[in-house]
């Protein structure tokens, strides 16, 4: 489970870095983890307030976060997340999550990520 905690932290860090590099000033992050004897499920909720991203940027984010999860190479990917200062490694995050919802409600950008360990 130690590696799983680090993977969750890297996912959160990558999205937070992207937002901060794009001028975000008010961000909420919530991580819900449910552990059972057989599995661990994690939901990550990130809300950026006063979001002024263009629709094209949001659609690109949605596309990259919904890259099909790639279990077979995840062990390699999670160590790469955060290595590039460009903040544009969402395709790596997308390869580490099972599902992503990205919605803009007024001036709030909501990102909801689901991951099964």
Domain residue spans of the chain: 4-116
Which band of pLDDT confidence, cut at 50, 70 and 90, is reported for residue 19? very high
Q: What does the pLDDT look like over 72-101, one tens digit per residue?
A: 766 666 566 655 555 457 888 888 899 999
Q: What does the pLDDT look like over 26-78, one tens digit per residue?
A: 999 999 999 888 889 999 999 999 999 999 999 999 999 998 888 776 666 65
Q: For the packed helices 71-80 and 2-21, what is the interaxial angle rounded to 10 degrees? A: 60
* Domain boundaries 4-116, corresponding CATH code: 3.30.565
Sheet strands side by side (includes 40-48): 27-35, 40-48, 108-116, 99-105
Quote the pTM value.
0.87
Mean pLDDT of 3-18: 90
């Amino acid at each position: 489970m130690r590696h799983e905690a680090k993977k969750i932290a890297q996912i959160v860090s990558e999205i937070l870095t992207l937002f901060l590099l794009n001028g975000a000033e008010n961000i909420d992050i919530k991580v819900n983890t449910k552990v059972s004897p057989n599995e661990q499920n994690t939901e990550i909720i990130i809300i950026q307030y006063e979001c002024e991203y263009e629709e094209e940027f949001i659609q690109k984010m949605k596309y990259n976060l919904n890259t099909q999860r790639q279990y077979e190479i995840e062990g390699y990917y999670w160590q790469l997340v955060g290595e590039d200062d460009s903040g544009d490694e969402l395709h790596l995050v997308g390869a580490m999550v099972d599902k992503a919802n990205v919605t803009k409600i007024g001036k709030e950008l909501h990102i909801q990520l689901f991951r099964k360990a």
